[in-house]
Structure 1
Amino acid sequence: MNITKENIDALNAVVKVDITAEDYQEKVASVLKDYRKKANIPGFRPGQVPMGLVKKQYGKSIMVDEVNKLLQESLNNYLVEEKLDILGNPLPKVDGDFNWDAENFSFEFELGLAPEIKVDLKAGKVTKYNIVANDELINKEVENLQTRLGNKIEQEEVAEVSTIEGTFTNEEKTIENKATVTLEDIKGKLNAKKFIGSKVGDVLELKSKNLFNENAKLAQSLGLEANEVEGLETPLTFTIEAINITEPAEINQEFFDKIFGEGVVSSEEELRTKIKEDAEGQFAQQADQHLLNAITENLIEKTAFDLPKEFLIKWLGTAGEKPLTEEEAAAEYEKSEKGLRYQLIEGKIMADNDVKVDFQELKDYAIGFIKQQMAQFGQNNPEDKELEDIAMRVLQNQDEAKRLQSQLISSKMLDLFKEKVSFKEKEVSYEDFVKEVYK
């Protein structure tokens, strides 16, 4: 057997695998011998079928099978031994003159080679937001808590301060969802007028467009996903089932204990401090995710390199369960190119900075994730053995294992970026952060 590689250019190569009869005949003979022992052919006792008959009936298919096995194994070994960093998988070149009746065979494969990449983590600048919970936000959260724990007082009709419970329906869109709204949620005076003075049992005729100040409230009220209410214009009915006003809860020790547990907070100052800490902890996660996204976009933009585009389009056309046309494969390439570029950039950064994920780290990360999940359901002190058993079951699911590994890598990359990337820091309120980032 002989394997050679011809470089077409820096990103494309062709590997040729020459296989001679001596490379596969011994294995074919061994398989034929085993077939002869098991062959069940009328007129012959088991194990007594003439070898010539076995060869005639099975010889060619066995030879083809063994040559293909040998070809795949030798090609894979060659790629590993030569340390070839390829994109996609080798693509066989079609030879119109190929003949399985020959004894010696030549196979050619196209390779797409990964480009040489140089990543400068200092290139470009991004903004690292430090989101603070200001007094306005803390005041609003205190009011929300007072309302949530306050006393509900039934009302005969809707007033400006009412909380209205009811069901939104639309038969055509199969919407039937219970919701609680206030007039603060409602957009515009004309919509608000439809609610004012209404009573339990009244059915209001409304329109989804411009009904609420925020699309998130519309999605929540209709029981739909956020993307499902984008541009939604449909008539709605809202059947009023309860009308209340809420008498805010008094700020005292009973109030503190209901929110945080007995004795955790003992003054309004401590309450406000706790709200600030909790809010800023959540904001930090959003700021970190934005920072990671911003650095990712910056690296993709600033790190220039070529890809074997024609090869990748051809490979994408054959990689899935269903073959794609050249146009479909080209469209798929355009959709996936950005992700592939970052994949290569990330791999280079990890190699240059010795960022790795071993199984023990992944298991520890899974255990930490599981502990958080259990804590949300009030299970705060699970045993180590129980956590490890659950983690091992989770990691046996390949999709879950990949998802957790991706999250862990992102966490490690974020830590590395915070250490090495140049960025400017900016302290903002959450409201200003939303305005700047999600314009």
Structure 2
Amino acid sequence: MQVTETAADGLKRELKIVVPATDLAGRLETYLNDLKGRVQIRGFRPGKVPMGHLKKLYGKSAMADIVNTVIGESSNKALEERNEKSAMQPQVELADADAEKVLDGGVDLAFAIKYEVLPAFELAPTDEIAIERPVADITDAEVDERLSQIGEGARSYEEKAEDAVAEEGDRLTISYLGKLDGEPFEGGADDKAYLFLGQKRFIPGFEEQLVGAKKGDKKVIEVTFPAEYQAPHLAGKPATFDIEVFEIAAPGELKLDDDWAKTLGMDSLEALKGAVRTQIESQYGFQTRQKVKRQLLDALDKQYSFELPPTLVEQEFDIIWRQVAAEMERSGKTFADEDTTEEKAREEYRKIAERRVRLGLVLSKFGEANKVQVTEQELQRALIERARQFPGQERAVFDYYRKDPNALASLQAPVFEEKVVDFLLASVKVTDKTVSKDELFTEDDELAA
């Protein structure tokens, strides 16, 4: 095999690789000899088929498989000998005319590969990185509030007298039809729906106009959708709703006691409180983890500056931009609404893409240098969690990931990243800082993470 570098520009490389025809012919002969003992052809005894006849029947298709194999093997070997790692699968170029000659035999296999190498950089020390781990205390009041929320979901209601009026806390059974400029709009109607006065589940002003209503009432109420309403065609618009009240029910007594806890499968109210506290601790812990990880990534981002593989950046940018475009379409907003332009937005999101690629390469190198690996058990757990997201289709999900190495790698990548983050957090300075619940749950810019 002969390898010649034909282009080198930054991280971009182009090689010309030539594999002698004799090597291909040798592989073909080995293949046909093996086939000779297995194939059954009418008119010939097993193992007695002439080599020329076999070559005539199977030579071209066999050579096609051999060429594909040789291209992959020789490309990998060329990079290995050059001590380079490709950021992505190299792009192979083989002229159609040359391919036909190679398949016919007797002609060297010559092809070009284009690729981008992973950048070379040294890992910086991490012992000077300092991180504050935000920790929020879980109060008894929060546990009690969560218990009350659970209780509200199981509260019973009793129908009130025919002439009773609707009060705060009552449950109304209503039908409604929403209209814009007198015309019904999509998603603005429901029949025999529950409305709980005081829970503010409807748009502002809707529930308040039903306080004092009676069973059998029919009325029209006027409201205005919030300017930030999720449906862009309704945001900020005045609307009317035709309402009919079918039932008014008063809330039954809610006793948060041992008997109630037992209806939820717990031994006692204290046991239920413990389970609720554990659930809240898990939620707080996850949020703390995200905050700590963000600080670590920010610190690493400041330590490194190196050339990035353009194709990796472009792919990451495309993922981000599709996400941004989908969100803007869903919300009905424009770049002007965000006080920017598309050009400026693209520039900012490209910086985010570059950050993601750079940090991905840094974390990958830390993991490789410190022999961080994803175990089979960890990968299996990730696969199970993924399958759980598709109830009833678990078997199909398992089969999909097991048959597609790239898909399986996509499951492994986030597990690997979290293990590398754990490794790095053990080497940096971490101090706890008590914060409020609101501070803990203040959202960071997700795209920049």
* Common fold: TM-score over 0.5: yes
* Corresponding position of 2:134: 129
Compute the displacement of 1:209 (Å).
Answer: 2.2
Question: 1:161 pairs with 153, 164, 169, which one?
Answer: 169
Change (3 A) 1:157 1:346: farther
* Corresponding position of 2:323: none
Change (3 A) 1:207 1:84: farther
Question: 1:111 pairs with 98, 115, 121, which one?
Answer: 115
Compute the displacement of 1:115 (Å).
Answer: 0.8
Q: Distance in 1 between matches of 2:379 and 2:432?
A: 31
- Report percent identity of matched pairs: 18
Structure 2 residue 440 is matched with structure 1 residue 433: yes
Per-residue Cα deviation, 1:370-400 (whole angstroms, up to 9, x for no partner): 9x99xxxxxxxxxxxxxxx999889747588
Compute the displacement of 1:109 (Å).
Answer: 1.6
Question: 1:342 pairs with 332, 339, 359, which one?
Answer: 359
Instruction: Give 1:370-409 correspondences, 5 Å limit.
Output: 396=402, 405-406=412-413, 408-409=415-416
Question: 1:243 pairs with 231, 245, 248, which one?
Answer: 248
TM-score normalised according to structure 2 size: 0.64
Q: Is the 8 A contact 2:32 2:55 kept in 1?
A: yes
* Corresponding position of 2:333: none
Structure 2 residue 21 is matched with structure 1 residue 21: yes
Question: 2:368 pairs with 339, 351, 371, which one?
Answer: 351
* Corresponding position of 1:173: 186
Q: Distance in 1 between matches of 2:357 and 2:301?
A: 10
In terms of mean alpha carbon deviation, does 353-362 or 392-401 score higher?
A: 392-401
Change (3 A) 1:244 1:144: farther
SS at match of 2:23: helix
Structure 2 residue 193 is matched with structure 1 residue 195: no
Compute the displacement of 1:306 (Å).
Answer: 0.9
Q: Is the 8 A contact 1:206 1:237 kept in 2?
A: no
Structure 2 residue 323 is matched with structure 1 residue 308: no
Compute the displacement of 1:147 (Å).
Answer: 3.8
Tell me how many residue pairs correspond in the alignment.
387
In terms of mean alpha carbon deviation, does 123-132 or 85-94 score higher?
A: 123-132
TM-score normalised according to structure 1 size: 0.65
Change (3 A) 1:18 1:250: closer
In terms of mean alpha carbon deviation, does 65-74 or 199-208 score higher?
A: 199-208
Structure 2 letter corresponding to 1:113? V
* Corresponding position of 1:75: 75
Q: Is the 8 A contact 2:75 2:113 kept in 1?
A: no
Structure 1 letter corresponding to 2:419? K
* Corresponding position of 2:8: 8
Q: Is the 8 A contact 2:168 2:198 kept in 1?
A: yes
Q: Distance in 1 between matches of 2:95 and 2:420?
A: 45
Q: Is the 8 A contact 2:258 2:269 kept in 1?
A: no
* Corresponding position of 2:339: none
Q: Is the 8 A contact 2:313 2:354 kept in 1?
A: no
CA RMSD of aligned residues (A): 5.2
Structure 1 letter corresponding to 2:116? G
Compute the displacement of 1:121 (Å).
Answer: 3.9
Q: Distance in 2 between matches of 1:310 and 1:359?
A: 30
Compute the displacement of 1:112 (Å).
Answer: 0.7
Change (3 A) 1:111 1:206: same
Q: Distance in 1 between matches of 2:381 and 2:17?
A: 44
Question: 1:209 pairs with 210, 225, 230, which one?
Answer: 225
Per-residue Cα deviation, 1:275-315 (whole angstroms, up to 9, x for no partner): 4443223222233234334534553454322113279769x
Structure 2 letter corresponding to 1:198? A
Question: 1:144 pairs with 146, 149, 153, which one?
Answer: 149
SS at match of 1:89: coil
Change (3 A) 1:95 1:158: same
* Corresponding position of 2:422: 415
Q: Is the 8 A contact 2:21 2:107 kept in 1?
A: yes
In terms of mean alpha carbon deviation, does 107-116 or 413-422 score higher?
A: 413-422
Q: Distance in 1 between matches of 2:383 and 2:301?
A: 30
Q: Distance in 2 between matches of 1:150 and 1:185?
A: 17
Q: Is the 8 A contact 1:112 1:312 kept in 2?
A: no
Q: Distance in 2 between matches of 1:420 and 1:20?
A: 52
Structure 2 residue 296 is matched with structure 1 residue 295: yes
Q: Is the 8 A contact 1:162 1:244 kept in 2?
A: yes
Q: Distance in 2 between matches of 1:199 and 1:285?
A: 47
Q: Is the 8 A contact 1:88 1:312 kept in 2?
A: no
Change (3 A) 1:229 1:12: same
- Structure 1 unaligned runs (5+)? 216-227, 318-329, 374-388
Structure 1 letter corresponding to 2:304? T
Q: Is the 8 A contact 1:147 1:248 kept in 2?
A: no
Compute the displacement of 1:357 (Å).
Answer: 1.1
Q: Is the 8 A contact 2:119 2:307 kept in 1?
A: yes
- Structure 2 unaligned runs (5+)? 179-183, 319-345, 390-394
Q: Distance in 2 between matches of 1:263 and 1:230?
A: 47
